[in-house]
Amino acid sequence: MSSLFLKPFLFLYDSSLSLLLLLFNGWSLENPAAAQMRLHAENNAAKSEWKEMQYVWIKTRTLVLIPIFKGLVVLCLVLSIVVFAESFYMNFVILIVKIFRRKPEKVYKWEAMQEEDVEVGPEKYPVVLIQIPMFNEKEVFQLSIASVCSLLWPSSRLVIQVVDDSTDPAVREGVDIEIAKWQSQGINIRCERRDNRDGYKAGAMKEALTHSYVRQCDFVTVFDADFQPEPDYLNRAIPFLVHNPEVALVQARWIFVNANECLMTRMQEMSLNYHFKVEQESGSTRHAFFGFNGTAGVWRLAAIEEAGGWKSRTTVEDMDLAVRVGLHGWKFVYLNDLTVRNELPSKFKAYRFQQHRWSCGPANLFRKMTMEIVYNKRVSLWKKFYVIYSFFFVRKVAVHFLTFFFYCIVVPTSVFFPEIHIPLWSTIYVPCLISIFHTLATPRSFYLVIIWILFENVMAMHRSKGTCIGLLEGGRVNEWVVTEKLGDALKSKLLSKVVQRKSYYERVNSKEVMVGVYILGCALYGMYYGHTWLHFYLFLQAIAFFVSGFGFIGT
């Protein structure tokens, strides 16, 4: 009976041993010695296959990846020299201007509009048209209309157009009420509306110039909806056009009412001050040409008509007009001492859209106009070279690619290629000098230069993407998003109602986060293997991308 009782357990024991043998020796009936030999052969084959993979990787790295990366480094080094030379040249011109005090009033004929002329009669004053283009600008339209209507100029020689493309009924009604208020005070102001938005701002301004009453005007001044000129703006700008028939444009400098709103607006102020005080003034001084900024400028209507008027083929209709007028031989004057207040975008999303338009549009215009500039016979070869090389290629294309691909892609990736040497002058000396050149335009923000560099590198990603879209005419090439303004809400408790908090996931910007993760990985790799000191910079740059990526920037 006991043997019968033990048989089931013996069966289970034998079955378990068989399963364990099959598990560790495979589903075969070979003996243990043969199985051991087979496992040894498989290990040797695996080692051989791994060595072969290592060999293929080493060959690929040596023959493909290193030459490609070395070529990218050389290209970035060349662009570094090009950008530095351009920056040095512009700052040298500004230095000469400051030393010899070459103000526009000394270079061009300028005589003040005499007050006694008003007593004789306003006929000696030219008729000036002022255009205020706007689209649903509910926060700022009252400020801009009030500022323009307060300009010191004979009312009979001033025509104000509110070029309103607004689709919000409340905004349209508010604009009408504001216009009626100023009309009751004797101001010649009117509103021009369309039943479509074809051509956006350029289309609206072009149609507004077709009205019969515009023919009596000599000059046209443009102020975007958030711009607030000083009362003496026309008295200081118009004399350059009156006394110099070869001048087509007088451009004023922007100053910013909300520069201290947040760290992002401080960074914008540094970049835009350099643009105006260095790029615009050096172009005006050396070549009598620069890009119209779309607002705060006075045009000679005859020059606009000669160049073919406003065109909406790109999102930078202002630059398009300036280049075409410049190719007809007209001169431009930039006034650094004449300032107009305006508002910087304080939301990161609004700033991204603005930078996309400001980088995509010039690149697309460069693509469209290069051959037109080359074959032009009205201007000198030197000026054509300046427009193509300096104005377009270096400032609108090369600088964006260099800033992002070199400092955010090539330099971080160099930790994986220690055999490739990137010279210190390209990673330390040249960037430091260029940064100093920029911060000299805003001395009060010099202590923010490190943060400004990191932030500019983040924004260079969007500018590079916009530049590529513009050069290749991609899907978003004609995307136009009006930059959001906050107006009086910036100074009041209404700001919390205008700027509504977003949820955590709505604030996340995936592109910045992905680049931040990559740079962080490069920093950790560089720190672990100790190939380079660059991991200190890489950690800071990764943090800048994460701060922007997770929405902890702007208001």
User: CA-to-CA distance for 475 and 360, rounded, in angstroms?
Assistant: 11
Tokens, residue 521: 């990985």
User: CA-to-CA distance for 501 and 504, rounded, in angstroms?
Assistant: 9
Q: Which residues, other chains included, contact 85 with Cβ-Cβ below 8 Å and sequence gap of 6+?
A: none
C-alpha pair distances (Å), 390 with each of 91, 107, 123, 287, 384: 14, 23, 43, 11, 10
Catalogue the active-site residues: 165, 318
Radius of gyration of the chain (CA): 32
Structural element, H or E, at residue 60? helix 32-60
User: CA-to-CA distance for 433 and 143, rounded, in angstroms?
Assistant: 40
C-alpha pair distances (Å), 443 with each of 80, 83, 436: 24, 22, 10
User: CA-to-CA distance for 172 and 149, rounded, in angstroms?
Assistant: 19
Decide: helix, strand or coil at residue 104.
Answer: helix
Q: Burial of 531 by CB count in 10 Å (0-12 exposed, 13-18 middle, 19+ buried)?
A: middle
Q: Report H helices in 2-31.
A: 2-25
Strands (E), 275-394: 297-300, 331-342
User: CA-to-CA distance for 305 and 209, rounded, in angstroms?
Assistant: 10
User: CA-to-CA distance for 528 and 540, rounded, in angstroms?
Assistant: 17
User: CA-to-CA distance for 324 and 108, rounded, in angstroms?
Assistant: 22
Q: What are phi and psi of 185, to 5 degrees?
A: -95, 10
Closest CA to 361 of 460, 481, 205, 466: 466
Q: Which amino acid is at 61?
A: R
Angle between helices 430-439 and 66-100 (to 10 degrees): 40
Q: Which residues, other chains included, contact 303 with Cβ-Cβ below 8 Å and sequence gap of 6+?
A: 248, 249, 325, 328, 330
Q: Burial of 407 by CB count in 10 Å (0-12 exposed, 13-18 middle, 19+ buried)?
A: buried
Q: Which residues, other chains included, contact 43 with Cβ-Cβ below 8 Å and sequence gap of 6+?
A: none
Could you tell me if 191 and 179 are in contact, meaning their C-beta atoms sit under 8 angstroms apart?
A: yes
Q: Burial of 399 by CB count in 10 Å (0-12 exposed, 13-18 middle, 19+ buried)?
A: buried
Q: Which amino acid is at 454?
A: L
| In the block, residue with structure tokens 């400004």 | 452
Taking residue 41's Cβ as centre, other Cβ atoms within 10 Å add up to 10
Tokens, residue 211: 């009205």
